[in-house]
């Protein structure tokens, strides 16, 4: 599978997600996989007060983190598919497009998605999707809104 960076430039709803190494537009090759926090510290790291974090985790065993997810991208320069931890940063002025911060997904994040640390850190898409669907069946996610 080979794609050039400029191949999809006419696609209208293109998100501005760039390879951290090459600044080349990345092609998404997976769905977004939501992240969940099951420890108060994970919420505190994201600016939630300790008191609120404790309440949220007590109330919902897994709290969905808004504006963050895991997603696999293909980079034509890297010639590789990688899983990234994506953080969406909304602009203060809503007429501007959101920006996205990418970092290689560390193994701790797989635990926040699947409840299991993957031994190799970067599972195949199919294996990961199977785990994810199993996890979602067992977690009823309540509505939960906070801004980061
Ligand atoms: Zn790249």
Separation of 79 CA from ligand 1 center, angstroms? Answer: 7
Asked if the structure places residue 62 within a domain, the reply is yes
Q: How would residue 102 be classed by pLDDT, with cut points 50, 70 and 90?
A: very high
The mean pLDDT of 81-85, rounded to a whole number, is 90
- 120-147 exposure pattern, b = at least 16 Cβ within 10 A, e = fewer: eeebeeeebeebbeebeeeeeeeeeeee
Instruction: Give domain status of residue 35, yes or no.
Output: yes
Write down the residue that tokens 């497009």 correspond to: 97
Residue 94 lies in a domain: yes
pLDDT bucket at 132, cuts 50 / 70 / 90 = low
Residues 38, 60: contact at Cβ < 8 Å?
no
Domain containing 73 equals 27-105
The reply to whether 141 falls in a domain is no
Strands 63-75, 27-28: pairing kind = antiparallel
- Whether 143 is in a domain gets the answer no
CA of 8 to the centre of ligand 1 (A): 16
The answer as to whether 113 is a domain residue is no
The C-alpha atoms of residue 104 and residue 15 are separated, in whole angstroms, by 18
Distance 3 CA to ligand 1 centre (A): 12
In angstroms, what is the span from residue 78 Cα to ligand 1's centroid?
A: 4
- Highest mean pLDDT out of 9-23, 31-45, 117-131: 31-45
pLDDT at 5: 55
Under 8 Å between Cβ of 71 and 83: yes
pLDDT at res. 100: 92
Predicted pLDDT of residue 27: 92
How far is the centre of ligand 1, averaged over its atoms, from the C-alpha of 105 (Å)?
A: 15
Structural domain includes residue 131: no
The mean pLDDT value for 97-111 works out to 81
Question: Is 134 within the bounds of a domain?
Answer: no
Q: Are 115 and 135 in contact (CB under 8 A)?
A: yes
Using the mean position of ligand 1's atoms as its centre, give its distance from the Cα of residue 121 in Å: 19
Could you tell me the distance, in angstroms and rounded to a whole number, from the CA of residue 80 to the centre of ligand 1?
Answer: 8
Enter the pTM of the model.
0.64
Q: What's the pLDDT band for 35 if we cut at 50, 70, 90?
A: confident
Report the number of distinct structural domains present in the chain.
Answer: 1
Ligand 1 centre from 17 Cα, in Å? 11
């Amino acid at each position: 599978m080979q794609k050039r960076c400029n191949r999809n430039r006419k696609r209208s709803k293109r998100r501005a997600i760039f390879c951290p190494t090459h600044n080349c537009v990345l092609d998404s090759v997976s769905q977004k996989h939501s992240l969940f926090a099951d420890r108060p510290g994970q919420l505190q790291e994201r600016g939630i007060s300790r008191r609120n974090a404790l309440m949220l985790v007590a109330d919902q065993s897994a709290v969905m983190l808004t504006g963050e997810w895991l997603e696999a991208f293909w980079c034509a320069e890297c010639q590789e598919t990688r899983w990234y931890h994506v953080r969406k940063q909304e602009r203060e002025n809503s007429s501007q497009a959101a920006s996205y911060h990418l970092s290689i997904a560390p193994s701790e994040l797989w635990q926040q998605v699947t409840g299991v640390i993957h031994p190799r850190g970067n599972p195949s898409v199919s294996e990961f999707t199977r785990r994810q669907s199993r996890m979602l069946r067992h977690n009823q996610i309540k509505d939960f809104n906070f801004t980061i």
